[in-house]
A and B are shown apart, each in its own frame.
Chain A
Amino acid sequence: MSAQLLQYLFSGLTVGAIYALVALGFSIIYNACRVINFAQGEFVMIGGMATVSLIASGLPLPLAALLAVGATTLVGLALERFAVERARGASVVTLIIITIGASILLRGLAGLVWDKNLHGLPTFSGDRPIAIGGATILPQSLWVLGVTLVVVVALWWFFNRTLHGKAMLATSHNRLAAQLVGISVRRVLLVSFGLSAALGALAGILIAPITFTAWDVGVMLGLKGFAAAILGGLGSGPGAVLGGLALGLLEALAAGYVSSAYKDVIAFGIMLAVLVLMPSGLFGERTAERV
């Protein structure tokens, strides 16, 4: 394998892992209420920006990161409790519009509470690139990949091995049946927003040392994460992860081998092709109209 290809793979996987975390957030909320939460990107931004300001106030990085994830989770819970929950019974489209409004509100607030400048975070363990086969990878990229792996395993365990997780899965499969067996659907919704917010915040903190963060980074990361979720199949956990990695790799390879000017076009073009040929994405449930 050439050093060039290896370098593209490293950079693609790093960015892809972030897309995967954002895509997972989309999928969890989609499963709980069939709503696409367009404020997902804002969770990423809040995670990064909160960590920056907590570090600036003198806290050590691990503590700042932990508090930032906590704060973002609270924002996610508040969004569910005070906006989505209040509109229960409204159509899915209405709920989606509510999340778009929330994302604009959160972005505006971030611009006011913090500022409109770019901010960086210190890397978790040094800046010295690690050379592998002629290519280099930053220690921070290993953090991104490692934490993403841990998160994926933890989520799998949560959804397949714990009662709460299984209750959430059951709700996504059949809301009415889940209610009938005594699952609190309201709680499931609340937990799904909290969980998604925490995942978004984590992504925002992991990527900030590499790409910086600012009040408006959520827009593009949210969009790419959404694209990844669609690519993998909305609502599918493995789909979100593979969709994110695939999108990141596609972008890197397109920039490297074809043209950096058209890399987004190529990535989104392939996504469109997948949607046309397999409307439910790579791993989505095949939904068939029942007669």
Chain B
Amino acid sequence: MGIRRMFAAFARPLSIGAFAIATILPAHAQQPIKIGSFLSVTGPAAFLGDPEQKTLELYVDKINAHGGILGRKLKLIAYDSAGNADKARTFVKRLIEEDKVDAIVGGSTTGETMAVIPLIEQAQVPFISLAGAVVIVEPVKKWVFKTPHTDRMACEKIFIDMKPRNITKIGLISGSGGFDKSMRAQCMQVAGKYGIEIVADETYGANDSDMTAQLTKMRQNAQIQAVLNAGFGAGPAIVTKNFRQIGMSVPLYQSHGVASKEFIKLAGDAANGVRLPAAALLVADALPFNDPQKHVVLAYKHDFEARYHQDVSTFGGHAYDGLYLVIDAMKKARSIDKAKVRDAIESTRGWMGVDGEFNMSPTDHMGLDLSAFRMLEIKNSDWTLVK
């Protein structure tokens, strides 16, 4: 074996000849397909990068255990960009120039993703971003795709749910964090399209401990038919508790930012009756059996929890979709030629992932529609699907 390897090492520089054939091992079979990645595994966005990296490792191992694709194994080359856009640029440069990867799946945050897009476009490498903001795919960039749903979709999902309940005038309350601000702006932008008028716009600080003042102001506003809270962390849980405390009776909507068991635990009984949009992954068990997404999310949940003994998060789901979109495209193109793979990703239709059904097109490089979100209502401190 050792001699064979030595021969193989010689074979490449000597270029292909009778000598290389004599070593029996075809040179390209030894070369794995290289998937590059840069993720915020540490730092402030570690809650995104950690499950993403674990997911990539898990499925690269799994695919290799089944013989890889196109008769070749996969190799994951992942760097920790720690939420830092400068580091992300450096690592992407290295992935392209030194590691010579065939495709890149990564970019936990919008900042890191936006910083590397010029490099990607120049080097012409298929890239699937795992970050949230709409700006990544609007306007469409030739080599850039993304898997997570956007906060605009969350707003739209909520507004659609309001319509049959005859809600047209709402109060908006949001935190001062980046997620909160972005979602607030998106909701304001699309509200008109759904006939919703935002008649109150309140905010709270990231470390505020009491929001009764803002909510009391809303209670005094007789126009308000529902309250929408955009945010994640402690804020929404406090808003929910204060909302019940001052006896407000209009419906309360939360965002997908609080779609975790943590929120129900913190807000306690006050959470009952709250509606929110969430990814199917969170309610995998509650999905009906004829739901086409059910088996995908259940399988992912099972794989992840069996290997890492921690709860799945939607962020890891983004990485699953990103990896498999690339793998599928390579299989479809029967090649790892970058242009062919890019075209194959763009022509993805009806592919069911953890985040939802992807229908890519030359004008849509995310490919998800509102069916990716499920409207949930919290009842008896548990999720129920709103029909």
Query: Cβ of B203: which chain A residues have Cβ within 8 Å of it?
Result: 260-261
Query: Cβ of B164: which chain A residues have Cβ within 8 Å of it?
Result: none
CB <8 Å contact, A211 and B213: no
Q: Distance in Å from the Cβ of A150 to the closest Cβ of chain B? A: 21
CB <8 Å contact, A7 and B212: yes
CB <8 Å contact, B212 and A211: no
CB <8 Å contact, A212 and B210: no
Residue with the highest number of chain A CB atoms closer than 10 Å, among B205, B209, B220, B234: B209
A193-205 interface code vs B (CB 8 A; 1 in, 0 out): 0000000000000
Q: Distance in Å from the Cβ of A37 to the closest Cβ of chain B? A: 20
Which residues of B from 225 to 257 have beta carbons under 8 Å from A? 233-234, 237-238, 241, 244-247
B268 at the interface (CB under 8 A from A): yes
Which residues of A from 205 to 254 have beta carbons under 8 Å from B? 207, 210-212, 214, 217, 219-221, 251-253
Query: Cβ of A210: which chain B residues have Cβ within 8 Å of it?
Result: 209-210, 238, 241
CB <8 Å contact, A11 and B238: no
How far is A144 from B22 in the complex, measured between Cα atoms in Å?
84
CB <8 Å contact, B220 and A129: no
B265 at the interface (CB under 8 A from A): yes
A107-129 interface code vs B (CB 8 A; 1 in, 0 out): 00000000001101000000101
**Provided the pairs A118-B234, A136-B247 are in contact, do residues A220 and B268 lie with their beta carbons within 8 angstroms?**
no
- Shortest Cβ distance from B202 into A: residue: A260
- Shortest Cβ distance from B215 into A: residue: A7
How far is A25 from B220 in the complex, measured between Cα atoms in Å?
38
CB <8 Å contact, A118 and B238: no
CB <8 Å contact, A11 and B212: yes
CB <8 Å contact, A219 and B213: no
B216 at the interface (CB under 8 A from A): yes
Query: Cβ of B216: which chain A residues have Cβ within 8 Å of it?
Result: 4, 7-8, 135, 256
A178 at the interface (CB under 8 A from B): no
A36 at the interface (CB under 8 A from B): no
How far is A11 from B131 in the complex, measured between Cα atoms in Å?
38
- Shortest Cβ distance from A18 into B: residue: B209
User: Taking chain A's interface residues, is the majority helix, strand, or loop, or is none over half, making it mixed?
Assistant: helix
CB <8 Å contact, B234 and A214: yes
Query: Cβ of B202: which chain A residues have Cβ within 8 Å of it?
Result: 260
Query: Cβ of B262: which chain A residues have Cβ within 8 Å of it?
Result: 117-118
How far is A256 from B219 in the complex, measured between Cα atoms in Å?
11
Q: Looking at the complex, which one of B209, B212, B245, B266 makes contact with A118 (CB distance below 8 Å)? A: B266
Q: Distance in Å from the Cβ of A271 to the closest Cβ of chain B? A: 16
A1-41 interface code vs B (CB 8 A; 1 in, 0 out): 00010011011101100100000000000000000000000
Query: Cβ of A18: which chain B residues have Cβ within 8 Å of it?
Result: 209
B214 at the interface (CB under 8 A from A): yes
Q: Distance in Å from the Cβ of A288 to the closest Cβ of chain B? A: 38
Q: Looking at the complex, which one of B210, B234, B246, B265 makes contact with A129 (CB distance below 8 Å)? A: B246
Query: Cβ of B234: which chain A residues have Cβ within 8 Å of it?
Result: 118, 211-212, 214
CB <8 Å contact, A264 and B205: yes
Which residues of B from 40 to 58 have beta carbons under 8 Å from A? none
Query: Cβ of A12: which chain B residues have Cβ within 8 Å of it?
Result: 213
Q: Distance in Å from the Cβ of A11 to the closest Cβ of chain B? A: 4
CB <8 Å contact, A136 and B207: no
A138 at the interface (CB under 8 A from B): yes
B66 at the interface (CB under 8 A from A): no
What are 30 A-B residue pairs whose CB atoms fall within 8 Å in the complex?
A4-B216, A8-B213, A10-B212, A11-B213, A15-B210, A18-B209, A117-B262, A118-B233, A120-B266, A127-B268, A129-B244, A129-B245, A129-B247, A135-B216, A135-B246, A136-B245, A211-B234, A212-B234, A212-B266, A214-B234, A220-B207, A251-B213, A255-B204, A255-B213, A256-B214, A256-B216, A256-B217, A260-B202, A260-B204, A263-B213
A interface vs B, CB < 8 Å? 4, 7-8, 10-12, 14-15, 18, 117-118, 120, 127, 129, 131, 135-136, 138, 207, 210-212, 214, 217, 219-221, 251-253, 255-256, 260-261, 263-264
5 A-B pairs with the lowest CB-CB distances in the bound complex, closest first: A211-B209, A220-B207, A255-B213, A11-B212, A256-B213
B interface vs A, CB < 8 Å? 176, 202-205, 207, 209-210, 212-214, 216-217, 220, 233-234, 237-238, 241, 244-247, 262, 265-266, 268-270
7 further A-B contacts with Cβ under 8 Å, apart from A11-B212, A219-B207, A255-B213, are: A118-B262, A118-B266, A129-B245, A252-B210, A252-B212, A255-B217, A256-B214
